[in-house]
Chain A
Amino acid sequence: MSQLLDGAELTALQTMRIGFSHSPELRRGLGLTAFFALLGTAGRVVVPIAVQQTLDRGLHGPQGVDVGFVTLMGLASAAAIVLTAASSYLMTSRLFVAAESGLATLRTKAFRHVHDLPVLTQNTERRGALVSRVTSDVDQVSQFLVFGGMIGVISVGQLLVATLVMLVYSWQLTIVVWLCFAPLFISLRYFQRRLTAAYAEVRRQIGVMLSAISEPVVGAAVVRTHAIEKRTQGRIDATIAAWEKSQISAQSLTAFSFSLGGISAGLANAGVIAVGIWLGFADQITAGQVLAFAFLVSLFVGPVQMGTQVLTDAQNALAGWRRVLGILETPADLVDAGPEGVDLPAGPLDVAFVDVDFAYPTGPTVLHGVTEKIAAGSRVAVVGETGSGKTTFAKLLTRLMDPVSGTVCLDGVDVRQVTHECLRRRVVLVPQEGFLFDDTLLANVRYGKLDATAADVVAAAGELGLGDWLDGLPDGLDTKVGQRGESLSTGERQLVALLRAHIAAPDLLVLDEATSAVDPELEMRIGRALESLMRGRTSVTIAHRMSTAEAADEVIVFDRGEVVQRGRHGDLVGQGGVYARLYASWEAQRSAS
């Protein structure tokens, strides 16, 4: 059973390689995009060159002011500027198409992969963190690719082109400019590291703050019944203050590193003029060329100012990309057998556990050597104390997890060989917390059978003895259940989950404490209804309440990960041992008065 990978072990190059292979759209037409980028960047030196040419050849040329030359140069420059703009447009829009398409694909793949992971891996993750991997982490990558990445590429290109042009004019002045900017380039890494740390702290503080802010909302009732409004507010205020502090210190770093670019530019301009004049005395350079340098220096400022920001964004985007890829790199243990898989023959299913062991990762074994058969069409109850392994048994049976060793068979076929489609259609588990989607009651029940009509659902409710309850709801089947079904009571949510499973008409129904929050009378009524509905099918029921065991064809008793007893209720009660003890405690409870 795998922990979800965070991709931290991937190097930057590996991340990009794997990232590109998952989103082939990113590579499509990259050559052409790069070509347009080159054109677009090269166009940036048009103005400095135009200024120089005008000064040196148009104004101070051998024949004095040369209008024809200036006109020609102006038109050529205008054409170059338009061409540059067109190239920039093509480059940017192509980048957007590639990045958005590639990342939409990546997002969807990662989302699907989360659902293919074993339930255990899903549960160990914080939901919010999992959601952010397919939402904000992907957004971060795409934002970077189209903005940061673009700025980065253009910046480097701009520096290179500016340097080349400078070299053509004067290698000595080029050295002066580079010397003025060198300390800054060297310090970029340092600032980037500090910025990365500062923004990581900001994100951490945001998480803490949001958690505190959720308390008066999610825990509104508790806060009021215990009158701890002041304390709650104090906790929130403290997290807000801590967030503000982290934001301000990150902001100071940004402001400081940003301001350095301008200082270097000032130094460079001064150096260019001073050294330029000196070179001019040696007739190594013209006045126009010196001025062109002043314009070229301004091409350095942008890249340097944006440099730390781009590097920091790159670092964050890479981390986000790693986290998304980490999902895809986590092996989905529950692999669908696919086209080679087996479709189980129609009719009731029998179940066989052969020497099944199960352990949670880095945890002790929770099931050992379980070998049990459940006959097709029988009704079996599974009992045991908390932690005895009965829920694990149910999860292995429905292939929410795979055993560490041994096999689980349905109709003699290893569940790993059965196609997912067949397995999920024929075998249904109703968990204790029947999750509801924020939709109508009808839509939630239909989840069990997509083509069920409202009449089917009403009929199914009638069969389970839930007709009265359904009639009593203000909007009947159109009742909105609210987020996670919170508009309904806990017991009512269980009723919907049960209805959903019933309408799916499985051949093997597994109930895990599915009616624990329903009143006893209704629970028993549902139990009796299921009994007749499941006739000819197999059912496995896990229950605290021993009444279920009493009514079952057979009882399987778990204790510390092993099956310790099995048989009919009547026989087991007399045998002593675990079952008799469980039963006695139940008896004591229900007859207590």
Chain B
Amino acid sequence: MTTDTLGGAREATLRQGLRIIGHGIVRQPWMFTIATTGALIFGALTVADAWVLGWATDHALVPAFRDGTIRPSILILVVALFVGLALLRALGIIGRRMGGGIMAFRLQSAYRREVTRQYLRLPMAWHHQHPTGQLLSNANADVEAVWAPIMPLPMAVGTIAMMVVAVVQMLLTDLVMGGVGLLVFPLVVLANVVYQRVSSPVFTRIQAVRAELSEVAHESFDGAMVIKTLGRESEETQRFHDKAAKLRDLGIKAGRLRALFDPVQEALPNLAVLAVLAVGVWRIRSGQAATGDLVTVAYLLTIVGFPIRSIGWVVGELPRSVVGEARVRTVLDETSTMAVGDHDLPVTDDGAHLRAQGIWFAYPHGGSVLRALDLDVSPGRTVALVGSTASGKSTLTTLLMRLVDPDAGAITIDGVDVRELAPGVLAKHAALVPQTAFLFDDTVRGNVTLGEDIGDAEVWRALRTAQADEFVSALPGGLDAQLGERGTTLSGGQRQRLSLARALVRRPRLLIMDDSTSAVDPDVEARILAAMRAASGSGTVVVVAYRKATIGLADEVLYLDDGQITDRGTHEDLLARNPDYARLVNAYESADPVEEAAR
């Protein structure tokens, strides 16, 4: 939607923009009052300055030069007036800037808190449908855009008041000179309106291209290795250059508009002063005005000329604000929830009893991943979930942890439908170790305990089982080592081991591992498995696996094929009776003529 073709849309933008501003004022009435009062004081005193100058001209300057003498009291009064007004005006500036700033910052903070609360509240399915980049910019750039008109708002309100006062004063001082001077206001407003209309689409485009440029750079640097290995540097540079050139051209276009607008804006009041001088001379000659009147009107024009553009600043931010608000609203107004119940589960050390019945699941825009899947894991059992690449194993683990709900069917723990559980209950009894480990920008301890009151001995024990104790003790600070954003300082295998320790330390009654040791060396993995076997209490374990060593940990294997558990039994039974399963897990051996010969 381009604002210069749709007049209706523009009006709607103005109306919506003003509604957002109104909303901001309602949320921060005190700061708005302080800021606006400051701006009003500033405006009033700026006008008063002109009046004092005119007064000083007529009562001090002209008589003094005419008479060659001046009363000291008059002189002191003039000095006191100028200095006093300046001090008050400074207070006005501080009030305006601080009030406006605090108002804008608080509004931004409040929106960020609301948006992130939504992120935490909304179901996983909603997250799956929204790209990460979009959600991050909703909470940051969009929030900033919404409240961008707030900062210059008090100044604009003050300016309007100041203009009213100045106009009245100019007219009171001398009707004719004031009238001539007044002509400048509609012209300045017109120049502003034209500039806003012509430039705001350009600025909107610049904003968009800037985001595109940053996306290209981000993706390109993320894929730097692939680009290098395939020698695609020139193509990538071209891709970046195209955006940079577009940004340059838009920047020049915006610059030219600005270069045209600024001098016009500045020249208009100056030309008005000349017009006032011309008229003033004629008025003074005919004895209808004093020199001081001329000075006052001319000065009023020069001081009011500049702040008028602050109205333009507010109006200019409105389109961006409206777009930002619309984007933030899609998050704030989202009502989808994952219904929860109020059931609890018995507090016991025994493993959980996990069942799934008639599970159907499909991703939006995709075919069915799970088709009438049934599953039953008795308390304390360890089962391996085996299936080929893209067979739906990871999807099943997210259903079991109720990150998403099935389209049909039910999952129960100890006979209670997971949808009936009270919030937090499932997390207390079950833990998932995902394929890709996610670490918080926190210490090692914080990443393992997640803020729960767990003793260091417990933490070390979990780290030891996950074979993470050695590298953690080597980190400067040990448990207190800060890991940095998403744990980038650690290798993939180290991240996976911390993620495993995080699950183990909670002693879950149901532990679900989704190929969560894929980046770990085979011998380290063997040690992890051995330690887990030794440490495991009576918890129920579901482990997604390819490797026989992992499968070997299991009491039973569930074979997932075509969206269903098509076979279950011990590894040996399945090997013997299920050729598909045998092919999958024996692949390494059957490909190996040397080893077969050796047998």
Contact = CB atoms under 8 A, between A and B. Distances in A.
Given A85-B267, A221-B398, A276-B61, A266 B83 contact: yes
A54 interface: yes
A115 B233 contact: yes
B255 A385 contact: no
B451 interface: yes
A88 B266 contact: yes
Given A254-B97, A259-B94, A295-B299, A210 B255 contact: no
Given A483-B132, A592-B548, A86 B588 contact: no
Interface stretch (A162-170, A239-247, A365-373): A239-247
Interface in B51-69: 53, 56-57, 60-62, 64-65, 68-69
A491 interface: yes
Contacts of A213: 112, 116, 136, 139-140
Interface in B529-567: 546-549, 551-552
Nearest to B451: A231
Interface residues of B, number: 176
Contacts of B440: 215, 219
B60 to A, nearest CB: 7
Given A122-B221, A474-B366, A274 B79 contact: yes
B259 interface: yes
Contact of A424 (B231, B389, B485, B595): B231
Given A70-B277, A492-B390, A115 B588 contact: no
Contacts of A211: 441, 485
Given A100-B255, A221-B124, A435-B226, A116 B233 contact: yes
Contact of B61 (A237, A244, A273, A450): A273
A17 interface: no
B295 A51 contact: yes
Contacts of B57: 287, 291
Contacts of A236: 112-113, 116
B522 A586 contact: yes
Contacts of A495: 389
A491 B274 contact: no
B547 A589 contact: yes
Interface string B109-128: 10011001101110010010
Nearest to A76: B274
Contact of B588 (A55, A219, A240, A547): A547
Contacts of A544: 521-522
Nearest to A290: B61
A481 to B, nearest CB: 12
Given A259-B93, A281-B64, A135 B255 contact: no
B82 A86 contact: no
A66 B53 CA distance: 24
Contacts of A51: 273, 277, 295, 298
A55 B291 contact: yes
A492 B388 CA distance: 11
A263 B86 contact: yes
B119 A217 contact: yes
B522 A119 contact: no
Contacts of A55: 291, 294-295
B285 A65 contact: yes
B240 A221 contact: no
A448 B441 contact: no
B527 to A, nearest CB: 10
A127 B222 contact: yes
Nearest to B523: A585
A582 B298 CA distance: 92
Secondary structure of the A contact surface, majority rule? helix
A428 B225 CA distance: 11
B225 A431 contact: yes
B329 interface: no
A422 B424 CA distance: 58
A273 B56 contact: yes
B260 interface: yes
Contacts of B61: 273, 276-277, 280, 287, 290-291
B427 interface: yes
Nearest to A71: B278
Interface in A86-126: 86, 88-93, 95-97, 100-101, 103-104, 107-108, 111-112, 114-116, 119, 122, 126
A396 B140 CA distance: 41
Interface stretch (A312-320, A340-348, A457-465, A518-526): A518-526
A142 B251 contact: yes
Contacts of A104: 244-245, 247-248
Contact of B244 (A108, A223, A243): A108
A588 interface: yes
A222 interface: yes
A589 B522 contact: yes
Given A88-B262, A228-B450, A489 B233 contact: no
A270 B584 CA distance: 93
A402 to B, nearest CB: 13
B83 A267 contact: yes
B520 to A, nearest CB: 9
A267 B549 contact: no
A151 to B, nearest CB: 11
B241 to A, nearest CB: 5
A102 B259 CA distance: 18
A477 interface: no
Secondary structure of the B contact surface, majority rule? helix
Contacts of B521: 385-386, 544
Interface in A21-61: 40, 46-47, 50-51, 54-55, 58-60
A428 B220 CA distance: 18
A110 B355 CA distance: 57
B248 A100 contact: yes
A182 interface: no
A516 interface: yes
A108 B592 contact: no
Nearest to B582: A521
Contacts of A197: none
A504 B441 CA distance: 39
B576 interface: no
Contact of B260 (A89, A91, A95): A89
B223 interface: yes
A550 B224 contact: no
A273 B77 CA distance: 11
A47 B302 CA distance: 9
Interface stretch (B16-24, B210-218, B472-480): B210-218
B583 interface: yes
A450 B240 CA distance: 17
A420 interface: yes
Given A59-B291, A519-B584, A217 B82 contact: no
B438 to A, nearest CB: 4
Contacts of B180: none
A85 B98 contact: no
B159 to A, nearest CB: 16
B414 interface: no
B416 interface: no
B119 A251 contact: no
B168 interface: no
Interface string A481-509: 01110000111100101001000100000
B281 A59 contact: yes
Interface in B278-300: 278, 280-282, 284-285, 291, 294-295, 298-299
B256 A86 contact: no
Contacts of A215: 440-441
B193 interface: no
Contacts of B592: 547, 550-551
14 contacts: A74-B274, A96-B259, A108-B237, A237-B113, A262-B86, A266-B85, A270-B82, A287-B57, A424-B228, A495-B389, A518-B389, A550-B592, A589-B526, A590-B588
Given A84-B263, A135-B210, A221-B432, 18 more contacts: A51-B277, A70-B281, A95-B255, A96-B251, A112-B233, A128-B218, A131-B221, A134-B217, A217-B132, A220-B124, A270-B80, A277-B75, A434-B226, A490-B436, A516-B519, A550-B592, A550-B594, A582-B523
